Structures are given as C-alpha cells and as structure tokens.
Amino acid sequence: MFLHLLTCVFLVACCLSAPTKVLERRGPSQCGQYTSISTGSYTVYANQWGASTGTGSQCSQIDALTGTSLAWSTTWSWSGNENSVKSYTNVESPFTRKPLSQYTSIPTSWSWSYSGTSLRANVAYDTFLSTCASCGQTYEVMVWLGVYGGISPLSDNGYPPTPVATPTIGGTAFNLIKGHNGNVIVYSFVAKNGPVTSYSGDLVAFYRYLQANWQLSSGQYLQTLQAGTEVFTGSGAKLVTSGYSIKVN
C-alpha cells in the first residue's frame, strides 16, 4: 500500500486516469458460533448450529461489496461424526414475507470455488415456507449447486437416495430428492452434472415447478432465504464466493 501511494505521487496523471471501482473494503473475520457481519443489504451468519457433534473451528469474512455483488469466504476444519452437519455459514438479505403467488421473480447469481481435504459439504440455497408469515415451517426447499464427499439430502426412500424427478430448471439439470425433517417436507434440487460454480437463475422457477408437479400451494409464505455451505467434515477447507447477488421481486 505504501509503495502504491508513492507511485501515485510521482505518476499523478496515470493515477487520475486509471479506472476505479466502488467497493467496501474487507471486513473483519468472525469465528464465533453464532456471530454475524454485515455490509450493504447482506449479512453473513456463522451459524455453527451443529458444532457440538464434532471438533473443529470455522471463520468467515466479507471480502468486498461491489455494487450489489457480495464477495465473501469461509475457512474451516471439522472432524467427528461425518454424517452430522456442523455449520451452515450463509448470507441473507432482508425481504418481505409474502405468499409465493405474490413474487414475480427472485433473480440470483453465485460464483464460487471450494478447496480442502476430504471435504464432506455442500453449496446450497436454503429456503423455508409456511402457511403464514410467522407460522411454524411446513416446507424446506433447497437448491444444491455443489456436493462433496458423497453427502445426501434428507430422503424418504433411503440412502443413497433415488431421485423422484429429474427436472431441468433455468437450463440446469437437477435430481429432485424428497424427504422429511419431522413434519417439515423437504425438497432438495441437487445439480445433476457436477458442481455449478457459476450459477445464474430465478428461484421462483423452483417454486413454480413444485406448484405444478408436487402440489405445493401458491399460498405458502416464503419465510427464509439463505445461501451458504452445510459443513460436515474435512480439513483446510475454504469456500470462496467471488460474487453473489439476489433480488426479491
């Protein structure tokens, strides 16, 4: 940074003519179990809700905000009980809870990469629905863009699960897995042909598909809308999101 400032002093014309990018500088890391950090309309939640089922640590940080595109990352190492989720570090933005019929589109894009050893994790959107804005959850709808280490969504027909359908939504092929978490019905759309590390789509299209084919009511309220990584086990892991955006219409 010091050398860069000296260069600007002696090369004023060059510095003045160089293109600039408006962004917020990197924020502090967070390593607590339920801490959060925010910038613009985005909040990154640590959400290490299953930490007691294993041993390890995890930190996350905001790297930049350029316009409406968020760059963020999380690093972690977890061991113990390889079939239990240790955390779901994720990003959220505020929106108004309404019936699905009142959303016209939810365009989103997500560019990311994952590295590490013996990873058991996913990269996924996670959403919850209910019969009213503040009622108990009735549906969970997930979109898995990446799967590592052979983990599986909740399934009603055993493991490894057998897809109940293989829809193509927004140009991406998915395996649809249906399961239950207590009384909550879980639909998981899992990218069929490997990780989708540069995704662009409309989340409303997944709800419309379920309404047309699986009797999901358009009167269900969208309660929660998150994007992050469910972590099971692995070491030296790092999820880097170079760009993430979402808009609820």
Average pLDDT, the chain: 91
pLDDT attached to residue 29? 80
> Is 92 marked active-site?
no
Percent of the chain scoring above 90 in pLDDT: 88
pLDDT digit string, tens, across residues 30-39: 999 999 999 9
Q: Which of 24, 82, 92, 140 is catalytic?
A: 140
196-247: per-residue pLDDT in tens? 999 999 999 999 999 999 999 999 999 999 999 999 999 999 999 999 999 9
> For residue 12, what pLDDT band results from cuts at 50, 70 and 90?
very low
Q: How confident is the model at residue 6 (pLDDT cuts 50, 70, 90)?
A: very low
**23 pLDDT above the threshold of 80:** no
**Known active-site residue 24:** no
Q: How many CB atoms lie within 10 A of CB 36?
A: 14
pLDDT at 182 over 60: yes
pLDDT given for residue 5 in this prediction: 37
The secondary structure of the chain as a DSSP string is -HHHHHHHHH-HHHHHHS----EEPPPPPB-SSS-EEEETTEEEE---TTGGGSEEEEEEEEEEEETTEEEEEEEEEEES-TTS--EEEEEE------BGGG----EEEEEEEEEEEEEEEEEEEEEEEESSTTSPEEEEEEEEEEEETT-----SS-SSPPPSB--EETTEEEEEEEEEETTEEEEEEEETTS--SEEEEETHHHHHHHHHHS---TTPEEEEEEEEEEEEEEEEEEEEEEEEEE---
Say which of 24, 82, 92, 230 is annotated catalytic.
230
Q: Give every CB contact of residue 224 below 8 A, 6+ residues apart in sequence.
A: 92, 126, 127, 128
Domains present along the chain, CATH in parentheses: 92-246 (2.60.120.180)
pLDDT above 80 (res 14): no
State mean pLDDT over 81-87.
97
pLDDT of residue 28 exceeding 80: no
State residue 220's pLDDT score: 98
